[in-house]
Structure 1
């Protein structure tokens, strides 16, 4: 038995000004062949599970591409071709099955559905090839993806700490089919006219908590796989939105379960929309909470500038407000500003520097200009930005933030400044530069929900700060032009089935 394993992952924010070229994938970590096996074989990511499954089934493995890039703007056509051509060539060379780790929200220059097109191209080469696919919970699932694979599944957790679990689940379904141990699975797709916001998709909270529980309940009845994809609303593409997919032993089982889950998701549609609050008022409340000496940090979320959803990670609005209100003992993770890091390297540890920090990126899609913040502080730390994830998300993976520095401002705030975009989902973003996050009074994180993977056990309180950026949850300023209509909340909809038609 010969298997082609591959990973190509990107969450595309079509409003982001950040260019997603081949170099951006290389910066995160792009591997092929044995190097890919070495990089992912001991991680809890889907490729690690697929490699274990291949060994269990005694299969030869070909791994032509393992690539991921931090979310940003549309993938260039050149990068897409260079990422996907090796996979197509490996399939063309002959194989018995294909196990893929994809994201599900990749938009490419001139192409809205990167994953669906890749799967369609594989099917053109090998029409009957068994194909398993794992997808991110923020996948904008399309009929093209479903129609061109054997079985697919999405993560049931956000933050994504079950990647290994779901990969094993769908991988075993397809491997058993390939080995003749089960009939070909049937799938049922339900596209809801719902543009759910990422900030409302934490699976420890409603509405996603009960949506995921509905999937678990159906699987407990014997359904092989059930998934709810919250979708990714920062992708202005036709088929953005929330979907349900079931993998059944037969079509009736799949359809019945999909309808039941979709109805439960739709009933809580109002909870998928975030309600904004005044930034100054929220910071003031956080300051009062922090003054109570809770014995651990208060989390401050600069969610509108989350690079994990395509943010520029250099918007200084929230940081400026926190400084203005005089919060003490704050650690910030992290600001993207390679020029600032270079200036701090030249100055050296212990030097006092004045910087125009951040604000290097204009965001024309939202008519926002970059606004640097002039700060004076001491260079506390300089590192290469490399460290290993020890927490529950991306466990064992090597993070490369690029040259990294810590600037201490007024003795009140320590700002981690990076040269490559990285969302702070693990405490390593601080520990790797000598900051012990559990002993800080405030942790200001440019994150939405993924921070919970590493920081939820430390947090004594959490405040969502509504600043500016291309990962905003304020629908009133997002210029949607391509998303299918009608769709809630942009349109008033009562019956999702009528709207879907």
Structure 2
């Protein structure tokens, strides 16, 4: 048995000015052929789970590509084809099954539905190929995705600490179907809800309720998998928003019933999926009164893990203005600043115009650097391995990295975008985050994977950036209408 295993992942923020070209995939993780297998076998990714299942089945494993880039603007057609063509070539050569580690919110220059386009092309080559797919909790599910695979599942955690488990679950469903043990039947639907990522943490309501319903449904006879997707609202495409997919063993009526039950509950909870803002200065003032640290300060509007530029200095400037002390920042993206610090050398005093290198025309903002004077404390190559519960075992490439130490703040400055979901963003450069009074994290929810165990309190700071939760700043043109909260809807 020959099994194709591949990863092709990107969460596209159509409001982001950052280009997702092939170099961006290479900067994060892009491996071809045997290098893909070596990079991801044994990791806590769906790809790792697929490999384990295929080896247990005695299958020949073909891994044409494992590529992922930090979220950003649309993927270039060239980059899309680099990944898709590698997969399609293997399908043309002939395989018995495909296990795909995808995202579900990829928008490319030539298609608003990257995953659906890939799956459709695979089906055109081999209409009967058994295909298993794992998707991110922030997937925007489409007909094209659903029509061109055998069995599909999404993560049940945000931060995504169950990637391996869901990969194994749906991979087993596929292998069982090939052995004639089950007959996967899928039912899906979406609701008129464009929920915000900041309200999708699965440890909290309202998402916790939907996840619990999925877990309970999977205990019912004949239900093989059930997923409630929060969707990714920052992808302005027709099908953006909340959806549900249910896989049963040959029972379409059962799949429909479970789907409708969960969708109805999602709609009932719609108001809870919308974030309420608080003035930035008020939140920083509240933080200043907190004496036990570390206090986690979330610069969520500038979260590169959802496509932000990661160089907006608004929150950092306000924290400095109010005089918070013993602060560490993870991280600011500014390759030019890193180069200046490399030239100056460790121990040197340097004045930098930090950040603010990127304009954000989609939200009407221009980059505004912040002039800071400090000491070059650390210089590294930015490479380390994740030891925490999310992306476990995966090597991180922050690119050339530096730490600028001012009187009351240590700022990690990176050359490649990286969301701080693991404490390694600090420990790799010699900072012990658990002993800091404040940690500014350019993150929304993923920070919980590495930092929740050490944080004594958490505050969201409403700064600027293209991952804003203020819908008034975003111009939607493609999403299906009417949709809540962009429109007032009395009934689903």
TM-score (norm 2): 0.99
Counterparts of 1:259-270 in structure 2, within 5 Å, are: 259-270=260-271
Q: Distance in 2 between matches of 1:163 and 1:110?
A: 29
2:45 counterpart of 1:45: yes
Q: Distance in 2 between matches of 1:353 and 1:156?
A: 46
Q: Which runs of 5+ in 1 are unaligned?
A: 497-501
**Secondary structure in 1 matching 2:30:** coil
**Secondary structure in 2 matching 1:405:** strand
- Segments ≥4 residues shifted beyond 4 Å: none
2:331 counterpart of 1:331: no
**Secondary structure in 1 matching 2:189:** strand
Identify the residue that residue 69 of structure 2 maps to in structure 1: 69
Of the three residues 421, 424, 432, the one matched with 1:436 is 432
Of the three residues 410, 415, 421, the one matched with 1:414 is 410
Identify the residue that residue 90 of structure 1 maps to in structure 2: 90
Q: For residues 192-215 of structure 1, what are the alpha-carbon distances to aligned partners after superposition, in whole Å with 9 as ceiling and x for unaligned? A: 110000000000001100010000
Identify the residue that residue 175 of structure 2 maps to in structure 1: 175
Q: CA offset at residue 495 of structure 1?
A: 2.1
2:378 counterpart of 1:377: no
Q: Distance in 1 between matches of 2:179 and 2:362?
A: 50
Q: For residues 136-178 of structure 1, what are the alpha-carbon distances to aligned partners after superposition, in whole Å with 9 as ceiling and x for unaligned? A: 0000010110110001000000000000111111110011111
Q: For residues 74-114 of structure 1, what are the alpha-carbon distances to aligned partners after superposition, in whole Å with 9 as ceiling and x for unaligned? A: 00011111110010110111011000000000000031000
Identify the residue that residue 278 of structure 1 maps to in structure 2: 279
Q: Distance in 1 between matches of 2:86 and 2:267?
A: 40
Q: Distance in 1 between matches of 2:489 and 2:147?
A: 28
Identify the residue that residue 313 of structure 1 maps to in structure 2: 310
2:54 counterpart of 1:54: yes
Q: CA offset at residue 409 of structure 1?
A: 1.2
Q: For residues 391-435 of structure 1, what are the alpha-carbon distances to aligned partners after superposition, in whole Å with 9 as ceiling and x for unaligned? A: 00000000000000000112x000000000000000000000000
**Secondary structure in 2 matching 1:220:** coil
TM-score (norm 1): 0.97
Which deviates more from structure 2 when the two are superposed, residues 174-183 or residues 98-107?
174-183
**Secondary structure in 1 matching 2:480:** coil
Identify the residue that residue 114 of structure 1 maps to in structure 2: 114
**Secondary structure in 1 matching 2:453:** coil
Identify the residue that residue 17 of structure 1 maps to in structure 2: 17
Q: Distance in 1 between matches of 2:62 and 2:206?
A: 40
Q: Distance in 1 between matches of 2:193 and 2:302?
A: 23
Q: Distance in 2 between matches of 1:431 and 1:455?
A: 12
Q: Distance in 1 between matches of 2:489 and 2:243?
A: 16
Identify the residue that residue 252 of structure 1 maps to in structure 2: 253
Q: CA offset at residue 10 of structure 1?
A: 0.1
Identify the residue that residue 99 of structure 2 maps to in structure 1: 99
